[in-house]
Chain A
Amino acid sequence: MEHIYDTIIIGGGPAGLSAGLYASRSKMDTLIIERGEFGGQVATTYELDNYPGSIENCTGVSLSKRMKQQAEEFGTQFAFEEVTHVKLEGDIKEIKCTKNIYKAKTIIIATGAFPRLGGFKNELELRGKGVSYCATCDADFFEDLDIVVLGGGDSAISEAIYLAKFGETVTVVHRRGELRASKSLQEKAFNNPKIKFVWDTVVVEAKGTEILESLVVKNVKTGQVNDLKADGCFVFVGYLPISELFKGKITMTDRGDVITDEEMRTNIPGVYAVGDIREKLLRQVITAAADGAIAATHAEHYIENKLASL
């Protein structure tokens, strides 16, 4: 007989791994499908000082490794594949991947989000050649060089502080006149002599032959255009949900954030969404992990109630 899992979790970031931990710990037959590397976005974060208990030497990589190990110890199974198609309606759901088709009674969507592009000219052409979306991956290149960070939220400012350990200068270019990042991050950044700010400014174009040399920036208030020397440009201007697979099947916002209730239920019975793909205010490792726990617990109840009604 074909194998039917109790739950299949799509995505192996903190939300998916926490769902896996809770589901397998309550003896559910659990599979996590991940297309790339485990850990999701947090695996590209270096310092992680806002996850409770992560005091000493806690990096995004070490935390996600431990989360995976913990889920595995309770029996979560893993598959490394890309999901190509999903059938979510009905009692048995089908997840079609590049190599196999998997079936389950419940589905927990934890596909997360990906960094938004800065939206300037030549951005794609100079990716990996000076334009980057991952500070931990690429910081080493820019020792004693001039770095520009785009954005004004928590990710932008915490990565600017990290990058200041490497670069000669770090210039934060932000389209508004004030930061959205938390006060404690702002304070750290304002007190760092290497970090400068260029307010009310957007990047229009990246210039350089083969590698990035400078950025064309524009002041949105005065309209004045300048050239800003930059060896590296790190873009942290928000995130977009990875929800293409579910369009037209699950209720979502115009942006593509999946709408759930407080129990992580989507509009389809037995289908849950957790972590950054959900419409919510605070997208953090801690809220992702909490979502995963809630969804797994409800998925278990859902299966029990199904059995009881048979």
Chain B
Amino acid sequence: MIELNKDNFSAEVLQSEKPVFVDFWGEKCNVCQALMPGVHNLNEKYNDKIKFASLNIVGARRTAIAQKVLGLPTMVIYNGGEKVATITPDKISSLEDVENFIKDYYNTL
């Protein structure tokens, strides 16, 4: 998985030719931490069509806010520089929720 920061976000995500899944997380977000290993496994399953990346919002909160992300965990899929799917904290209670979110978009590719 690609580790994003405020400097490479645009190049890796917005200018990517392949769709990009971004896991917005933070060290103090317990749910984010717990989901992380599972998200890495999803990377192996779906990275043929989707690039996987994560952004630690500490040190990059302005980048996150510019993407209209203000709650953790939030996961977004970008394609062609546009947000095509977003899942907000209230919809994420298990890894299954994340996988279904990715699968829904993956199946359209």
Q: Give residues in A with beta carbon < 8 Å to B.
A: 35-39, 43-44, 46, 60-61, 80, 82, 124, 127-132, 134, 136-141, 143, 210-212, 231-232
Binds A, one of B10-18, B28-36, B40-48: B28-36
Given contacts A129-B69, A130-B71, 11 further A-B contacts (CB under 8 A): A36-B93, A36-B94, A80-B94, A132-B70, A137-B29, A137-B89, A138-B29, A138-B72, A141-B64, A141-B65, A232-B70
Sort A-B residue pairs by CB-CB distance and give the 10 closest, nearest first.
A128-B71, A128-B88, A36-B93, A137-B29, A210-B68, A37-B34, A137-B72, A43-B30, A128-B89, A130-B70
Q: Do the beta carbons of B30 and A61 come within 8 Å of each other?
A: yes
A38: nearest chain-B partner, CB-CB:
B34
Q: Do the beta carbons of A127 and B88 come within 8 Å of each other?
A: yes
Q: Do the beta carbons of A136 and B70 come within 8 Å of each other?
A: no
Contact of B94 among A35, A46, A130, A139 (CB under 8 A): A35
Question: How many B residues have CB within 8 A of the partner chain?
Answer: 24
Instruction: Tell me the minimal C-beta distance from B83 to chain A in angstroms.
Output: 10
The answer for the CA separation of A219 and B29 in the assembled complex, in Å, is 34
Q: Do the beta carbons of B31 and A37 come within 8 Å of each other?
A: yes
A130: nearest chain-B partner, CB-CB:
B70
B58 interface residue per 8 A CB criterion: yes
Contacts of B94 in A (CB 8 A): 35-36, 80, 82
B87: nearest chain-A partner, CB-CB:
A128
13 A-B pairs with CB atoms under 8 Å apart are A37-B93, A44-B30, A44-B31, A82-B94, A127-B71, A137-B30, A137-B71, A140-B58, A141-B57, A141-B64, A141-B70, A211-B68, A231-B70
Interface residue SS majority, chain B: loop
Q: Give residues in B with beta carbon < 8 Å to A.
A: 26, 28-32, 34, 57-58, 61, 64-65, 68-74, 88-90, 93-94
The answer for the CA separation of A212 and B71 in the assembled complex, in Å, is 11
Q: Do the beta carbons of B70 and A129 come within 8 Å of each other?
A: yes
Q: Do the beta carbons of A35 and B30 come within 8 Å of each other?
A: no
Instruction: Tell me the minimal C-beta distance from B12 to chain A in angstroms.
Output: 21
The answer for the CA separation of A130 and B69 in the assembled complex, in Å, is 8
A139: nearest chain-B partner, CB-CB:
B28
Contacts of A134 in B (CB 8 A): 71-72, 89
The answer for the CA separation of A137 and B74 in the assembled complex, in Å, is 11
Q: Do the beta carbons of A138 and B31 come within 8 Å of each other?
A: no
Contact of B70 among A46, A143, A212 (CB under 8 A): A212
Contacts of B28 in A (CB 8 A): 46, 136-137, 139-140
Q: Do the beta carbons of B61 and A143 come within 8 Å of each other?
A: yes
Q: Do the beta carbons of B90 and A141 come within 8 Å of each other?
A: no
The answer for the CA separation of A130 and B68 in the assembled complex, in Å, is 9
Q: Do the beta carbons of A140 and B31 come within 8 Å of each other?
A: no
